[in-house]
Amino acid sequence: MVEVKRSYGGVSAADRSAGRRAKLLEATIAVLADEGESRTTMTAICARAGLTERYFYESFASRDEAIVAALDAVAVEIASVAVQAIADTGGDPAERLRAALTAVVSLVASRPDKGRVAVVESSATPELRVRRHALLGSFAELVAQEADSLFGDAAWPAERAKVHGLVYAAGVAELVAAWIVGDVELEQDELVAAATDLFVAVARRH
């Protein structure tokens, strides 16, 4: 297939391709959230995106690559709103963490499909678990860092802080997952309050 770039519908070739990729990514997120990983076939993604299989291979080499890209996109967005919220909030580390939690919970509340991909479907396959683990790890570090600046000498030593951060991040992820699914009946602010309290609890050494 000879690829000679040309504009079409008033849109450049690069923009069209990028647009199709974005459509496919959104469709992948939607199918993942609605149908689960095993039913997220190339055919299903293309049908949801309203594109034919040929354009799938334009953006992704395989079904797995699309799924990984979808999770990456969601993970980056979640991490970014969290980091942004921390950067925008001054003062008390606990307040900063509450702001980050609020931002993340708001995101997954307004886009449950993204939340579902991030905390539910993200452990479906080995390849996805690598991403999930990396995301949890970055949150764990962030938590450990805030814990240190919150309690100083009263905080856990660095090695322990990493472990506690991981347990905290994974636990909150599960809590959010249960909340999205409806297994935990809490208001949004109660969810954030519980997670904030838990942060204080795991951050301080006794």
* Residue with smaller CB distance to DNA, 46 or 203: 46
Q: Does 133 bind DNA (CB under 7 A)?
A: no
Residue 8, beta-bridge partner list: 11
Contact 20, 58 (CB under 8 A): yes
CA distance 97 to 196: 7
Asked whether 165 and 203 are in contact (CB, 8 A), the reply is no
Window 123-152: residues binding its own copies (CB under 8 A): 123-126, 129, 133, 136
CB 35 within 8 A of CB 28: no
Tell me if 178 contacts its own copies by CB under 8 A.
yes
Residue 58: both structure tokens together = 């334009």
Q: How far is CA 40 from CA 31, 60, 76, 104, in A?
A: 6, 14, 21, 25
The helix/strand/coil state of 39 is coil
Task: Out of 26, 42, 95, 151, point to the residue binding DNA (CB under 7 A).
Answer: 42
Residue from 52, 91, 157, 185 binding DNA (CB under 7 A): 52
Q: Kindly state whether residue 94 participates in binding its own copies, applying the rule CB under 8 A.
A: no
Q: Residue 47: how many CB atoms within 10 A of its CB?
A: 14
Residue 13 contact partner, candidates DNA, its own copies, none, CB within 5 to 8 A by sort of partner: DNA
Of 89 and 123, which has the nearer Cβ to its own copies?
123
Integer Rg of the chain from CA? 20
Among the listed residues 22, 43, 87, 197, the single contact to DNA using CB under 7 A: 43
Is position 120 an interface residue for its own copies (rule: CB under 8 A)?
Answer: yes
Distance CA 61, CA 84 (A): 33
Binding of residue 171 to its own copies (CB under 8 A): yes
Considering the complex, what minimum distance in angstroms separates the CB of residue 119 from DNA? 24
**Residue with the two structure tokens 């660095």:** 158
Footprint of its own copies (CB under 8 A) = 36-38, 120, 123-126, 129, 133, 136, 160, 163-164, 166-175, 178, 183-184, 186, 194-195, 197-198, 200-202, 204, 206
Residues of this chain that bind DNA (CB under 7 A) = 2-10, 13, 16, 39, 41-44, 50-55, 57, 62-63
